[in-house]
């Protein structure tokens, strides 16, 4: 049987993040992808110029349509900009018994544009976190979820991860890509165990969609039958390679996308 994954997220008209990045990642990793669009964004590599939220009842209709026919081995959740949409997604997950749920708490775009209404953060924390197999915040998102300052050390990353675990998630991957140092370090916390994943940084401004890509790669791994540790490790390796070759794409004049098809387009000059 074909492994299948669903992305529930916003659309990026520039193609580098959101459902576009998720579907590219699923395809690159051998997983069939479907989508539920939660918001439309007018954006490119230089920023977001507009956001149009999809009504929560239509988000629910999309969820019911794809689950009733296709069924999924894993679900990735990304941009949910408003509290009513968050509640609609949570209800849909419950209706269809979704188990392997990867929650990427998207709050701010790479360009700095805010994508989650501040009043919706509590809803995300209270309603969706307990339904996630793993939550994948970056340093800024982990700080907002825990109402603390952004972590600047390994110890602080672990402490924030454990605080998010206490909110109901079964596992947390705190991503250190926006931190300092020569290596980008992420920590996976599940129960009493912590595991670190490290990769050397590559100097490029083409990092649009890195968070979306990592979380969707984890969902793809879970859909293919990997356990969470294996899926996180494979996703880190996939994203690292996509960043290393991102400059070959030459897309846009700002923060360009990562190279989702680096392995498949390897013959490029």
| Mean pLDDT (whole number) for 233-254 | 95
- Whether residue 130 is predicted with pLDDT greater than 70 in this model: the reply is yes
The chain-wide mean pLDDT, for the chain, equals: 93
| Mean pLDDT (whole number) for 146-171 | 95
Question: Is 207 known to be catalytic?
Answer: yes
Confidence at 160, pLDDT banded by 50, 70, 90: very high
Residues 37-93 pLDDT 10s? 999 999 999 988 999 999 999 999 999 999 999 999 999 999 998 999 999 999 999
| Mean pLDDT (whole number) for 81-110 | 92
Q: Out of 14, 123, 179, 212, which one is annotated catalytic?
A: 212
Question: Is 254 known to be catalytic?
Answer: no
Q: How many CA atoms lie within 13 Å of 203's alpha carbon, on the beta-carbon side?
A: 1
Question: Is 92 known to be catalytic?
Answer: no
Strands of the sheet containing 74-77, edge to edge, are 47-53, 32-44, 4-12, 74-77, 101-103, 134-135, 172-175, 183-190, 193-200
Q: Out of 16, 33, 211, 256, which one is annotated catalytic?
A: 211
One-letter-per-residue 3-state SS of 219-267:
HHHHHCCCCHHHHHHHHHHHHHHHHHCHHHCCCCCCCCECCCCCCCCCC
Question: Is 209 known to be catalytic?
Answer: yes
Decide: 90 and 131 in contact? Cβ < 8 Å.
Answer: yes
- Can you give the length of the chain in residues? 269
- Give the position of tokens 């952004």: 150
CB atoms inside a 10 Å sphere around CB 80: 33
One-letter-per-residue 3-state SS of 131-153:
HCCEECCEHHHHHHHHCCCCCCC
Question: Is 211 known to be catalytic?
Answer: yes
Residues 5-47 pLDDT 10s? 999 999 999 999 999 999 999 999 999 999 999 999 999 999 8
Can you spell out the DSSP letters for 77-107? Answer: E----SHHHHHHHHHHHHHHT--SEEE----
pLDDT for the residue 109 = 64
DSSP run (H or E) holding 115:
none
Q: Out of 24, 76, 100, 175, which one is annotated catalytic?
A: 175
Domain ranges of the chain: 4-135+206-248
Question: Is 212 known to be catalytic?
Answer: yes
Rounded alpha-carbon distances, angstroms, from residue 63 to 35, 83, 268:
9, 17, 38
Q: Out of 45, 210, 213, 240, which one is annotated catalytic?
A: 210
Choices 3.90.25.10, 3.40.50.10320, 3.40.1190.20, 3.10.580.10: CATH for 4-135+206-248: 3.40.1190.20
Q: Out of 209, 213, 221, 245, which one is annotated catalytic?
A: 209
Decide: 103 and 80 in contact? Cβ < 8 Å.
Answer: no
In b/e form, how buried is each residue of 181-212, taking b as 16+ CB within 10 angstroms? eeebbbbbbbeeebeebebeeeeeebbbbbbb
Confidence at 116, pLDDT banded by 50, 70, 90: confident
Residue 158's SS3 state is helix
The mean-pLDDT minimum among 3-17, 30-44, 109-123, 191-205 falls in 109-123
pLDDT for the residue 265 = 85
């Amino acid at each position: 049987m074909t492994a299948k994954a669903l992305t529930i997220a916003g659309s990026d008209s520039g193609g580098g993040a959101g459902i576009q990045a998720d579907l590219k990642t699923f395809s690159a990793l051998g997983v069939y992808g479907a989508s539920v669009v939660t918001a439309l964004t007018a954006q490119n590599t230089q920023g977001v110029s507009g956001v149009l939220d999809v009504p929560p009842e239509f988000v629910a209709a999309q969820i019911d349509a794809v689950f009733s026919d296709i069924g999924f081995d894993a679900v990735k959740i990304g941009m949910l900009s408003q509290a009513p949409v968050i509640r609609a997604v949570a209800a849909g997950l419950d209706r269809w018994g979704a188990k392997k749920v990867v929650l990427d708490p998207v709050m701010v775009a790479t360009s700095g544009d805010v994508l989650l209404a501040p009043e919706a953060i509590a809803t995300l924390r209270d309603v969706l976190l307990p339904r996630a197999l793993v939550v994948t915040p970056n340093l800024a998102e982990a700080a907002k979820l825990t109402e603390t300052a952004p972590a600047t050390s390994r110890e602080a990353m672990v402490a924030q991860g454990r605080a998010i675990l206490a909110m109901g998630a079964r596992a947390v991957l705190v991503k250190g890509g926006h931190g300092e140092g020569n290596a980008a370090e992420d920590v996976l916390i599940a129960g009493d165990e912590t595991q670190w994943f490290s990769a050397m940084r590559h100097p490029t401004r083409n990092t649009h969609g890195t968070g979306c890509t990592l979380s969707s790669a984890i969902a793809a791994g879970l859909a293919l039958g990997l356990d969470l540790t294996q899926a996180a490790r494979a996703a880190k390796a996939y994203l690292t390679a996509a960043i290393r070759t991102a400059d070959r794409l030459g897309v846009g004049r700002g923060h360009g996308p990562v190279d989702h098809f680096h392995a498949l387009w390897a013959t490029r000059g």
